[in-house]
Structure 1
Amino acid sequence: MVIDFDKIAEEHIEAFKGGEGKLDMRAFVDEQARIMYSTLRPGASSGKHQHVGSFEVMYVISGELTVHYDDTIEVVRVGQLHYCPESHFHWFENCTDHDVVYLAIVPTLR
């Protein structure tokens, strides 16, 4: 199956999961997974959230993403991937003056 994000309407989300600023997202969603091509604007962040019945992987395509994972802070750069296993908490932010573009996959485990 080919997923063409150019053919999926872009959502413009303010304060994603209780965070701040703007996130633009194109999402493919079915009963198996949520697959998102997203752009996090400078200064924007998500809210802190836990993955229950799922996990999340975030692959950075451009920019630099700061991730708060449990009690650590990680900087994820181009070509790197952040993994948040089931039952863990994370939130992320763009601390730079450039957009961060990433691909995120959140499968349904149950």
Structure 2
Amino acid sequence: MIIDFDKIKEEHIDGFKGGEGKLDMRAYVDDKARIMYSTLRPGAFSGKHQHVGTFEVMYVISGELTVHYDDKTEVARVGQLHYCPEGHFHWFENCTDHDVVYLAIVPTLG
């Protein structure tokens, strides 16, 4: 199956998961996963959230994504992937003056 994000309507989200700033997302969703091609704008950040019954992987396509994972802060750069296992908390932000583009996958477990 090919997922063509250019053919999926873009959502413009202000304050993703209780955060602040702009996140633009094209999402493919079915009963097994949510697959998102996203652009996090400079200065934007998500709210802190826990993954229950699922996990999340975020692969950075361009820019630098600062991720706060449990009690650690990490920077994911182009070609790197952030993994938030089931049961863990994270939130992420764009601390740069450029967009961060990433692909996120959140499967449905069970």
Identity of aligned residues (%): 87
Equivalent residue of 1:47, what SS? coil
**1:31-80 deviations in whole A, cap 9, x for unaligned?**
00000000000000000000000000000000000000000000000000
For residue 93 of structure 2, what is the aligned residue in structure 1?
A: 93
Equivalent residue of 2:105, what SS? strand
> Hey, which bits of structure 1, 4+ residues long, moved more than 3 A?
none
TM, length-normalised to structure 1: 1.00
For residue 45 of structure 2, what is the aligned residue in structure 1?
A: 45
Root-mean-square deviation (Å): 0.3
> What stretches of structure 1 of length at least 5 have no aligned partner?
none
TM, length-normalised to structure 2: 1.00
> What stretches of structure 2 of length at least 5 have no aligned partner?
none
Alignment of 1:29-68 (within 5 A): 29-68=29-68
Separation of aligned partners in 1, 2:4 and 2:54:
23
Separation of aligned partners in 2, 1:53 and 1:31:
13
Equivalent residue of 2:17, what SS? helix
Separation of aligned partners in 2, 1:67 and 1:45:
10
